[in-house]
Amino acid sequence: MRKLISSGSKFEEEIGYSRAVVDGDYVFVSGTTGYDYASMTLAQGVVAQADQTFRNIADALAKAGTSLDHVVRATFILPNRADWQSCWPVIKRYFGTARPASTLLIAGLQSEAMLIEIEVTARLPATA
């Protein structure tokens, strides 16, 4: 079973990727930023962007039939290492239950305004 999940972002069509892909028992969510697709704006500050990023990921996971509680792997990408610690409370709020294996990378993002990008892999819940 393979299913493509879209956030409705114009970038998915223009570039040629999906926000998430369900394949078997897993959901692979593309690197996601704090862009708010409803208002077509990018939140100001890394903490606000981290919060919006998690909401974007949660939406993709819900469309796939799972949730943040089923995330098993996360990769965090930040251009500025100094911003990392201020994101910890946001990460704990969203991942406190799942506590996935994770990696931090320091790298440039698509635009200077983007301050965090998060990629996750989740499992679909077991069915009876």
Domains and CATH numbers, the chain: 2-123 (3.30.1330.40)
State pTM to two decimals: 0.93
Rounded to whole angstroms, the Cα distance separating 17 from 82 reads: 30
Asked if the model's pLDDT at residue 128 lies above 70, the reply is no
pLDDT at 127: 66
CA nearest 5: which of 38, 27, 31?
27
77-125, pLDDT tens digit by residue?
999 999 999 999 999 999 999 999 999 999 999 999 999 999 999 999 9
